[in-house]
Amino acid sequence: MARVSQTVDCTDPASRAEGISAAQDALSRGETVVLPTDTVYGIGADAFSPQAVAVLLAAKGRSRAMPPPVLIGRPEIMDALAIDVPEEARALAQAFWPGPMTLILHAQPSLRWDLGETRGTVALRMPADDLALDLLGATGPLAVSSANRTGMPAATTVAQAQQMLAESVSVYLDDGDRGSSEASTIIDATVTPLRVVRPGALPLAELQAVVASLAPEAPSEAEASEAPAEAEASEAPPEAEAPDTHS
């Protein structure tokens, strides 16, 4: 019997808790959910379930070569998921989290997860969205990519996400139009000096006001970032040839 997706109107305060509970249940079963973020809608799965991450990648039509980033609900979770975090990265997190900034860090080698071909890194972000943070508080870290099929525009509404992902998603949390498909700024914090690998919502000048040594995007990376838009939460590891262009 085909699975039937559930859509919950989370703009209604009376339904918000119901939506979070339904999403939490689906995630615990290794299924995917669509959730709002501060940029666009994302498709999320349990970051610690390889099977769930595989379901997420299949829903998007994506290979393991483009692993999803991980959204976290509190800044201190960064130290549970990453090692050798430079002080400059901590300063950026303190200044811009929650917000549209993704940090690529060395992943904790002891973690039992499989996000794809990460080459020992993990891309972390804390979104500035109340519903997303409430869900993350209930579930813990989630692997989240843009709620779209690979190569298609980012979904700024649940209706757009449903058109592309349909019944591959168990629960859709509808929190209204996100209105912007501008990506998060991605910073590689595994190199010295830290460098921007994809410009996004945060201007370089604002970032350099916190970390003056932050290097701008290299010309070769600028060419790669002109590829078809992906969206809210999708990044490749630092050495990848074609990083996702939105997140």
62 is in an annotated binding site: yes
CA distance linking residue 120 with residue 114, whole number of Å = 10
198 is in an annotated binding site: yes
Around Cβ 199, how many Cβ atoms within 10 Å? Answer: 18
Q: Which helix (H) or strand (E) holds 39?
A: none
The b/e string for 234-246 (b: 16+ C-beta within 10 A; e otherwise) is bbbbbebeebbbb
Around Cβ 104, how many Cβ atoms within 10 Å? Answer: 27
Burial of 71 (0-12, 13-18, 19+ CB in 10 A): buried
146 is in an annotated binding site: yes
Q: Which amino acid is at 147?
A: A
Report DSSP letters for 70-135, one per residue: EE-SSGGGHHHHEES--HHHHHHHHHH-SSSEEEEEEEPTT-----SS-TTEEEEE--S-HHHHHH
Around Cβ 229, how many Cβ atoms within 10 Å? Answer: 20
3-state secondary structure 153-221: CCCCCHHHHHHHHHHHCCEEEECCCCCCCCCCEEEECCCCCCEEEECCCCCHHHHHCCCCCCECCCHHH
181 is in an annotated binding site: no
Adjacent-strand bridge partners of 122 = 105
39 is in an annotated binding site: yes
- Pick out the residues of the known binding site: 39, 62, 121, 125, 146, 184, 198
Annotated binding residues for ATP, written as ranges, equal 62, 121, 146, 198
Q: Which amino acids are annotated as binding site for L-threonine, given as ranges?
A: 39, 125, 184
